[in-house]
Structure 1
């Protein structure tokens, strides 16, 4: 009798690990692609949960969530979209917090085009300037604010090419289809230095702070993996990764 009970306990214990593991579906702002990929690997190792991410424009994610998309956590590129979803009853009360404050950069794949200043932008010697769609992507809106502050919006209007999100804007520049582009600092900067090309890191005074909020959506209310991810994002390991990509906390 003792032996059979012991065997049953061992079998139950062996099955406990997988039973506790869960999967979380996360909608992630495009600017946070590289940091989230780095975070996901550490999170899965530390928690045993699996993170499944979709990357895109925050405005589009809002529409998808309202139409029933199966996301359980939103890592937005702004604070207003999670707040709006919260006011509409689409989130878990008390789960929203700021996980990063984003930076903006004017970037070129050509190492000689930018000298750490907006001189090339003022000179106007380029055919195309890439930005993210300012109606859907906060980084695109920030780019427009910079152009307005510099008094250059009208001068470059005919040269603007809009990407659906900040990833597309970066692709326009990296492939040479645009000589310059406003991109998320995290796309071209890591561990204290520029990863490629040349850039002007735009001073914060030229655009509204890009406060990026995370929130658990209604579908993730009872998912332990969603709660674990939010806790991990608040921790020191995630903070170190986030800051290494040029974000502020």
Structure 2
């Protein structure tokens, strides 16, 4: 188990881990928000040439407070935590899955903190295609199933409850990320989007929506690129961690 340090963010503490030395890299994990335990070998490999920060979001894992429904609130808590760590900014921010939403909102709201952005198979922002009713029911059903499984107990019970809260607010989070990006834009820094090469079967319209958002994140400039992790599913940090590590190394080398 990873043992982190507690950082006061105003009324409660966030559990963070700092590894290595050198230029700063901030990792923001998936929907459950337990970032300290969810990056596989990536933090240790990055720590060979960088200062690497991982953390559990508010109300999640070993962090205090309550889970925030607003992505802007999550991004602002992350900023207070980084200030509490006295981390030298700007940093390269790496957001995986739902963490991609948090990372892009952070970058839009606090562009001076950001030296580069890497999105690892990020959740698509905006409104997915299809029926609004079907979308709402699918997220509601998924959250209910997670809470039911959590009620049975077991080692992952708390993580399932926390993920259920995230799924309950997922549609709002996706819409908020899209509107924030449109209002503020992303900073003019190098951007890489690492997209999974192995996709589960999904409707064509949904795949097109995901692909279009990944391309939009990378942007039209030469400073942004989409990279395909050919041998990985959504679990890129576990199945193709070297792609993340080498992409961070590239951005840090300028």
Same fold (TM over 0.5): no
Q: Quickly name the TM-score band, shorter chain normalised.
A: 0.3 to 0.5
Compare the two structures and name the one with the higher strand fraction.
1
Compare CA radii of gyration and give the structure with the larger one. Answer: 1
User: Per chain length, whose mean CA-contact separation is higher, i.e. which structure has more relative contact order (CA < 8 Å, sep 6+)?
Assistant: 1
TM-score normalised according to structure 1 size:
0.35
